[in-house]
Amino acid sequence: MTLTKCEILKKITEKRELSKLPEKDVELAFSHFEKRQVSEEEKIRLTRELLNKVFWPFRSKKLLSLKDKNYEWILRKHLSTRERLPFYGKLYERIFKNETKNFVLFDLGAGINGISYRFLSQKRLKLKYVGIEAVGQLVDLMNFYFKKEKFNAQAISMSLFEIDNLKKIICKEKGRKIVFLFKVLDSLEALERNFSKKLLSSISPLCDKIVISFPTESMSKRQKFRVKRYWLINFLSKFHLLRDDFEISGEKFLVFEKEQTL
Q: What is 25-83 written as a DSSP string?
A: HHHHHHHTTTTSSS-HHHHHHHHHHHHHHHHSSSB-GGGGS-----HHHHHTTBHHHHH
Rounded Cα gap, residues 197 and 152, in angstroms: 31
* Residue 85 near residue 75 (C-beta atoms within 8 A): yes
Other residues' Cβ atoms within 10 Å of the Cβ of residue 137: 20
* Residue 232 near residue 197 (C-beta atoms within 8 A): no
Neighbour-count burial of 105, counting CB atoms closer than 10 A to its CB (0-12 exposed, 13-18 middle, 19+ buried): buried
Rounded Cα gap, residues 152 and 150, in angstroms: 7
DSSP3 helix / strand / coil % (the chain, rounded to 5): 50, 20, 35
Global pTM reads 0.92
User: Would you state the pLDDT for residue 222?
Assistant: 52
Q: Which fold, 69-261?
A: Rossmann fold (3.40.50)
Domain ranges of the chain: 5-55, 69-261
> Which regions of the chain are under pLDDT 70?
1, 58-59, 218-228, 260-262
* Residue 219 near residue 79 (C-beta atoms within 8 A): yes
Other residues' Cβ atoms within 10 Å of the Cβ of residue 37: 5
